[in-house]
């Protein structure tokens, strides 16, 4: 028996889909489980032992579809459900299962603030897609696997981090998902304990500005220093994680880290809050500015605040985040 699981992007959404992949393979251990994603997402799953073969979309859709057709899949598990997967459905002659995407409900929530979203988490909906195949949730939460080549030796970090540290993920894909620099500076100052600023190369400059402006001499800018998997390994070794709505937040959940999740233009109402599985403690806190009729304003984030005031991040209660973080950690 041969399965193809599809999830093109993003980092966070792929991590949120990992329980479905694991439970499928555990239910049918002698089957072949293939995974289709974008080439730029390769690092997210390349070490996943529950996947037997990888396929990547890297520009030439027709060639990719032709290659997939030769695999003669028995079942397709569509965890993305967009126009690309619809095109594939006409090419691949297999039994097809698609997850409940709730696009209309998300649109109504973000555009008109009519909350018709069910309480079912996106990961649970991915798992529910497999119910006709008699695949059940094992309750073990999210997966993230890091190959030996991507491991980070804590002794290679500055000495003040080698006895333990926290992680603040300052990056995110869009402006409305990120705390303003002045709020991040306030956060780092108030924590006053060993910590790493996490983000990609695009966050390196703002990370350096935060370090230069803070009084915390035990803070270090790790933005752009490590690969995705290197950053994930630093998250694995962190005592706690403060994060925007971004992929590293869910990677932290996969390692059962205590997560302080800061929400701006997006929201847990979109069924994407931190997820640990039914067998593990849900060790997280959400931070949302109360009483904002405009929040959430987007499913994925925006390049600027539609209202211009950006209250969802500018009014975040930094003291509440600090107090929850410091309990038993610094």
Same domain, 163 and 290: yes
Same domain, 120 and 193: no
Q: What integer pLDDT is reported at residue 78 of this predicted model?
A: 98
Same domain, 171 and 319: yes
* Assigned domain for 138 exists: no
Q: Domain holding 68: CATH number?
A: 3.40.50.2000
Helix, strand, coil % over all residues of the chain, rounded to 5: 40, 15, 45
Same domain, 304 and 216: yes
Q: What integer pLDDT is reported at residue 329 of this predicted model?
A: 54
Q: What integer pLDDT is reported at residue 145 of this predicted model?
A: 99
Secondary structure of residue 35 in the 3-state scheme? strand
Same domain, 171 and 88: no
Same domain, 47 and 165: no
Kindly write down the DSSP assignment for every residue of 191-232, as one continuous string.
H-S-EEEE--GGGHHHHHHHHHH-S-TTEEE-TTTS-HHHHH
| Predicted TM-score (pTM) of this structure | 0.96
Domain count, the chain: 2
Euclidean distance between CA atoms 162 and 282, whole angstroms? 27
Are 273 and 144 in contact, with CB atoms under 8 Å apart? Answer: no
Same domain, 309 and 204: yes
Q: What integer pLDDT is reported at residue 327 of this predicted model?
A: 84
Q: What integer pLDDT is reported at residue 192 of this predicted model?
A: 87
Q: From first to last of its 330 residues, what are the pLDDT tens digits of the chain?
A: 999 999 999 999 999 999 999 999 999 999 999 999 999 999 999 999 999 999 999 989 999 999 999 999 999 999 999 999 999 999 998 999 999 999 999 999 999 999 999 999 999 999 999 999 999 999 999 999 999 999 999 999 999 999 999 999 999 999 999 999 999 999 999 998 999 999 999 999 999 999 999 999 999 999 999 999 999 999 999 999 999 999 999 999 999 999 999 999 999 999 999 999 999 999 999 999 999 999 999 999 999 999 999 999 999 999 999 999 998 554
Q: What integer pLDDT is reported at residue 246 of this predicted model?
A: 97
Q: What integer pLDDT is reported at residue 93 of this predicted model?
A: 87
Of 202, 311, 294, 282, the residue nearest 246 (C-alpha) = 202
Same domain, 168 and 308: yes
Same domain, 31 and 83: yes
Domain containing 303 equals 153-326
* Assigned domain for 62 exists: yes
Q: What integer pLDDT is reported at residue 328 of this predicted model?
A: 58
| Peptide bond preceding 97 in cis form (omega within 30 of 0) | no
Are 175 and 301 in contact, with CB atoms under 8 Å apart? Answer: yes
Q: What integer pLDDT is reported at residue 174 of this predicted model?
A: 96
Same domain, 77 and 165: no
| Consecutive H or E run containing 36 | strand 32-38
* Assigned domain for 143 exists: no
Same domain, 282 and 216: yes
Final residue before a domain boundary, out of 104, 133, 162: 133
Of 141, 87, 91, the residue nearest 279 (C-alpha) = 141
């Amino acid at each position: 028996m041969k399965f193809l699981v599809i999830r093109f992007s993003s980092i966070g959404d792929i991590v949120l889909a990992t329980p479905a992949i694991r439970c499928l393979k555990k239910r049918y251990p002698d089957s072949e489980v293939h995974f289709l994603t974008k080439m730029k997402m390769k690092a997210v799953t390349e070490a996943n032992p529950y996947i037997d073969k990888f396929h990547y979309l890297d520009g030439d859709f027709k060639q990719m579809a032709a290659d997939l057709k030769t695999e003669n899949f028995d079942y397709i598990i569509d965890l993305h459900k967009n126009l690309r997967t619809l095109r594939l459905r006409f090419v691949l002659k297999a039994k097809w299962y698609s997850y409940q995407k709730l696009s209309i409900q998300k649109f109504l929530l973000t555009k008109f603030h009519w909350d018709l979203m069910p309480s079912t988490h996106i990961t649970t909906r991915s798992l529910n897609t497999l119910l006709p195949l008699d695949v059940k949730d094992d309750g073990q939460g999210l997966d993230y696997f890091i190959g030996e080549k991507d491991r980070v030796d804590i002794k290679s970090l500055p000495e003040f981090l080698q006895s333990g540290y926290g992680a603040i993920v300052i990056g995110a894909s869009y402006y409305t998902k990120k705390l303003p620099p002045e709020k991040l500076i306030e956060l780092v100052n108030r924590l006053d304990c060993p910590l790493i600023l996490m983000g990609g190369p695009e966050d390196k400059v703002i990370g350096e500005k935060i370090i230069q402006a803070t009084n915390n001499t035990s803070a270090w800018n790790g933005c752009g220093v490590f690969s995705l998997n290197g950053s994930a390994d630093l998250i694995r070794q962190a005592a706690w994680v403060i994060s925007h709505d971004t992929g590293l937040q869910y990677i932290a959940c996969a390692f059962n880290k205590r997560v302080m999740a800061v929400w701006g233009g997006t929201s847990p109402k979109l069924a994407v809050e931190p997820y640990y599985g039914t067998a593990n403690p849900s060790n997280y806190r959400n931070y949302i500015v109360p009483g904002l009729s405009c929040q959430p304003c987007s499913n994925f984030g925006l390049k600027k605040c539609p209202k211009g005031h950006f209250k969802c991040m500018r009014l975040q209660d930094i003291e509440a985040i600090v107090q929850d973080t410091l309990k038993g950690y610094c």
